Amino acid sequence: MSKVNVCNSVADDIKRHAYAFPTIEIYGWLLGYDYKDQLFVVSSVPCKQYKMQNQIIAEPSQEEVMEISKAIPRGIGIVGIYHSHVGKVFHSSTDNHTVKQFASVYPYFLSIVTNVKETKYYQLKDESVEEIKVKVSSIKVPQSIRFIAKAKINLPQGTELDIQTVSSRMREILESFEVKQIEYKQNLLSGSISTDKLEGNECFVRFSVFEDNLAKADDLVFTMDLHANICAQEKTTLSSIKPLMKQAFIDDMYYQLKNTIIAEGKISKPVRIEFLYDNVNWKFYVSKKDKESILSFLQLLEFRVEYFSSKNEKKRELMLKTIRNTKNNIEKEENFAKIAQIVEDLAKKI
């Protein structure tokens, strides 16, 4: 790894987070990407659900990491962690162990430790975790392109229509599909996608998950709109995006089906919400079964605004009021299309 770049707002946010909790350790995740052997940290997410938190330890809950990973676009991911020390800034053997574990999955993994006054950066170098120098400057989040695919499966009459059957059949099809054509504004078929063309980006992926030739008139039909948000770098090509796209569609399918209810032949699908926050596009599904994920995201947002946005007091108070009202409205609301509307309204206000 030749260079680590940290966005200056991330460095400030981490300090502010630690400043708000002077007597206990705080923890959070770093969001970013690597490109041409360089790591870029573009955003940070404070941990809200702790397994344990006191003066000498902060251990996050695994569920929160999962929620974050599912909600952010492909191409951006959790690239590191940060935590605070109440006293001296150093990397303990526990901290080293954590970095080694993460680095076995993601070699660029970064660890930031702060006590507000002082901030240090650590990475795994040749088997040992060492303090490194980073460049702190402003970094733009790469644009994400949104791919949409219509998927349809036919199930022979008599097949039990349940989540398990639908997901395994859908997965089979998604794994074998070939992207033949992508409609991208001027019908771009192949070659490179440059970032200057990504403004107002939305693509419709045309591929065959339709099995009309095999379908029988009395088949049960299950359709889904699949979404894949992918962050593109300068020289992203379609061939480089295809495997990411495929995985993103499969993940999206599972994420949607998790919140889909099939009962007595009736299907209630979740409503999809997109939310631009901190320059990162977050997506959530809301259904009768689960409005927990959107509520926990709003809790994160509230927490973040409360401790991170201290620059403009008036704006901060207004934002907090708006978020809290939204949370109250959602808790009372049972209609999930209305919940999606409430959150979309919030997204416009922030």
Interacting residues with Zn ion (CB under 5 A): 92, 95
Cβ distance to Zn ion smaller for residue 92 or 325:
92
Looking at the Cβ atoms of 59 and 95, the one nearer to Zn ion is: 95
CB of residue 68 to Zn ion, shortest distance in Å:
21
C-alpha to C-alpha distance for 135 and 85, rounded to whole angstroms: 22
Give the nearest distance from C-beta 98 to Zn ion in angstroms. Answer: 9
Q: With respect to Zn ion, which residue has the nearer C-beta, 74 or 91?
A: 91
126-to-1, 75, 97, 228, 265 alpha-carbon distances in Å: 11, 26, 14, 36, 57
Instruction: Show Cβ contacts of residue 177 under 8 Å, excluding neighbours closer than 6 positions.
Output: 207, 208, 209, 246
CB closer to Zn ion out of 92 and 101: 92
Q: How far is the CB of 190 from Zn ion (least distance, A)?
A: 48
> Across the strands, what pairs with 113?
83, 120
Separation of alpha carbons 285 and 206, rounded Å = 23
CA distance 120 to 108: 16
Measured from the CB of residue 97, what is the shortest distance to Zn ion in angstroms?
11
Q: Do residues 98 and 112 touch, judged by C-beta distance below 8 A? A: no
Burial class, 168, CB count within 10 angstroms (exposed 0-12 / middle 13-18 / buried 19+): exposed
Nearest residue (CB) to Zn ion, 88 versus 332: 88
CB of 303 to Zn ion, least distance (A): 21
136 vs 112: CA distance, rounded Å: 13
Please say whether the beta carbons of 167 and 224 come within 8 A: no
Nearer to Zn ion, 88 or 348 (CB): 88
**SS3 state of residue 299:** helix
Give the contacts of 294 (CB within 8 A, at least 6 positions apart): 273, 284, 286, 330, 339, 343
| Residue closer to Zn ion (CB basis): 34 or 95 | 95
Residue nearest to Zn ion (CB): 95
CB of 84 to Zn ion, least distance (A): 8
- Residues with Cβ within 8 Å of residue 99, at least 6 apart in sequence: 91, 109, 111, 122, 123, 124, 129
95 vs 219 by CB, closer to Zn ion: 95
Q: Shortest gap between Cβ of 83 and Zn ion (angstroms)?
A: 6
Q: Using CB atoms within 10 A of its CB, is residue 270 exposed (0-12), middle (13-18) or buried (19+)? A: buried
CB 287 within 8 A of CB 271: yes
DSSP, res 143 = P
CB 96 → Zn ion: shortest distance, Å? 9
* Residue 134: CB minimum distance to Zn ion, A: 18
Q: Among residues 92 and 104, whose Cβ is nearest to Zn ion?
A: 92
